């Protein structure tokens, strides 16, 4: 599955689209070296396939590559950051 980075000022997203329709996304606001993850969406047709985790992992890789830290207001990301040690290096 391919994700496209969409940067608009301080608001950013990794998105997966097909035929012009956005089927999955994870969004964040980037300020002061912190990515505040604020939204995750996966369309009903892609749910149950681990797409949200793939999106979060893509965002985590982006954070690591750009020396950023990550925190969250999105409930999915809050839970993932709390329940997995794999993101400890980038938690704000």
6-61 pLDDT, tens digit per residue, is 998 889 999 999 999 999 999 999 999 999 999 999 999 999 999 999 999 999 99
Dihedral (Cα; 27, 75, 91, 31), 10-degree rounding? 40
Confidence at residue 91, expressed as pLDDT on a 0 to 100 scale: 95
**Residue 52: Cβ within 10 Å count:** 20
pTM of this structure = 0.94
Confidence at residue 10, expressed as pLDDT on a 0 to 100 scale: 83
Confidence at residue 13, expressed as pLDDT on a 0 to 100 scale: 97
Confidence at residue 9, expressed as pLDDT on a 0 to 100 scale: 83
Question: Nearest 5°: phi and psi at 57?
Answer: -65, -40
Which domains does the chain possess?
Answer: 4-90 (3.40.630.30)
């Amino acid at each position: 599955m391919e994700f496209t980075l969409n940067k608009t000022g301080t608001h950013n997203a990794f998105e997966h689209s097909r035929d012009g329709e956005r089927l999955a996304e994870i969004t964040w606001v980037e300020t002061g070296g912190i990515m505040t993850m604020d939204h995750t969406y996966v369309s009903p047709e892609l749910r149950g396939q681990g797409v949200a985790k793939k999106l979060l992992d893509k965002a985590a890789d982006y954070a690591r590559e750009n020396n950023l830290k990550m925190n969250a207001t999105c409930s999915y990301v809050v839970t993932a950051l709390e329940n997995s040690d794999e993101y400890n290096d980038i938690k704000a």
